[in-house]
Amino acid sequence: MVAVVALVVLAGCSGGGGSSTQTEGGSTPTETPAGVDTPMATPSGETPTNGTAAGTPTATPVTGQTPTATPTDTDAPTATPTATLADETPTATPAGSSDGPPGYSDGAIYNRTRFGQAYLPHIAAGPVSFNMTLRNTTADASQKIRFTLVNDTEETLVTLNNLEQSGTTTYFIQNGTDATRNTTSGEIRYAQGENNNIEFAAGFLQIFALLPSAYFSAMEWEQTDTRTIDGDTYYVFDSNSMNQTALDQSDWETNGNFRTASGHVVMRSDGFVREGWLRLSGTTASGTEVDVEVTMSMRGGSDISVEKPDWYDESDAETAN
């Protein structure tokens, strides 16, 4: 499947040593966190050419350009031109809504990539608590990952569990000395200064926060409901198939067999995803078995807070290089 190349940046404390920001051209972490496999390739959705959705009228009359000539007694009246919509005009909006999240409007998804990535800015900006589980079994490879990130804009706590192995890797990033702990080995390390190895490694792990967007962008979505949760309006989307263009651009071969392709997303108008999941399974034309399940949830608000881990030792942090 098409490789995911972008990384989500850590939300930031201002000043030195805060939540990490992946700098363009910055160095790659010198070591991959223990027990972490490189994420497997994922399908990607299409981006409409020039950012314009298919079916948008190709020409719109400009205000003030309607012919104003008044016919004389001998002239035939001149008809006022009207805009003609393309055949793919969005259908009526379901569930009584007239607008919706990024990439969605008037009852249709007009930009699948924008829709699938809409939640990502909230992870970087905070305050937010993000949880994701990935189960990916393709051919002889396998991944079962649980990834969590809590960002209160001052500190960030990143945790990774490889569910096929024992142990957890945790990164604590703050405006001060950063730290990481591996429960398998019992090792605790500290690092000071901006862009240190611990901060880089935590930024690398945030590729797991990006993975759901690649799958969400590849699905066909239909709005099925609206809900009011904590005073906010959420749009409910369901899917039972992949988008053909996204499928053609992925490593899923178009004449393969899909046994399952389904999904569910509850998204606010600003792209915040309260919950979402999808399941894909089948066999490609070359006979490769693929079985993927992704679940995610987000929580935001002023009550989101990162507590310094109980394993963090101030004296050891002060002497760290």
pLDDT at residue number 285: 72
Residue 311 lies in a domain: no
If pLDDT is split at 50, 70 and 90, which confidence band does 246 have? confident
C-alpha 17, offset from chain centre: 26
Is 194 within a domain?
A: yes
Q: String of b and e for 207-216 (b: at least 16 CB within 10 Å)?
A: bbbbbbbbbb
35 in a domain, yes or no? no
In a domain, residue 121? The reply is: yes
In this model, does residue 113 exceed pLDDT 70?
Answer: yes
Hey, which of 104-108, 225-229, 285-289 has the most confident mean pLDDT?
A: 225-229
pLDDT of 133:
95
| Residue 73 resides in a domain | no
Query: Distance (Å, rounded) from C-alpha 92 to C-alpha 109?
Result: 12
Classify residue 175: in a domain, yes or no.
yes
DSSP 166-200: S-EEEEEE-SS-EEEEETTT--EEEE-STT-HHHH
Question: Mean pLDDT across the stretch 123-147?
Answer: 86
pTM reported for the whole predicted model: 0.69
Helix (H) or strand (E) holding 159: strand 156-162
Q: What is the mean pLDDT of the chain?
A: 74
- pLDDT for the residue numbered 260: 81
Digit-coded pLDDT (tens) for 143-188: 789 999 999 989 999 999 987 777 899 999 998 899 999 988 889 9
Q: Which of 139, 151, 140 is nearest to 209 (CA)?
A: 151
Domain for residue 264, yes or no?
A: yes
Of 206, 249, 201, which Cα lies nearest the Cα of 42?
249
What residue numbers bound the domain in which 252 lies?
A: 113-300
Whether residue 59 contacts residue 83, with contact meaning beta carbons closer than 8 Å, is answered with yes
Render the burial of 53-63: b for 16+ CB within 10 Å, e for the rest: beeeeeeeeee
Cis (ω within 30 of 0) for the bond into 61? no
Distance CA 42, CA 320 (A): 39
Give the pLDDT band (50/70/90) at residue 18: very low
pLDDT > 70 in the chain, percent: 64
Assess if residue 83 is contained within a domain: no
Q: Tell me: the pLDDT tens digits for 249-261?
A: 665 555 667 778 8
Q: How many domains does the chain have?
A: 1
Give yes or no for a contact between 180 and 188, defined as CB atoms under 8 angstroms apart.
yes
Q: Starting from the edge strand earliest in sequence, which strands make up the sheet with 188-191, in order? A: 188-191, 178-182, 168-173, 156-162, 141-151, 128-138, 289-300, 273-283, 257-268, 232-239, 222-229
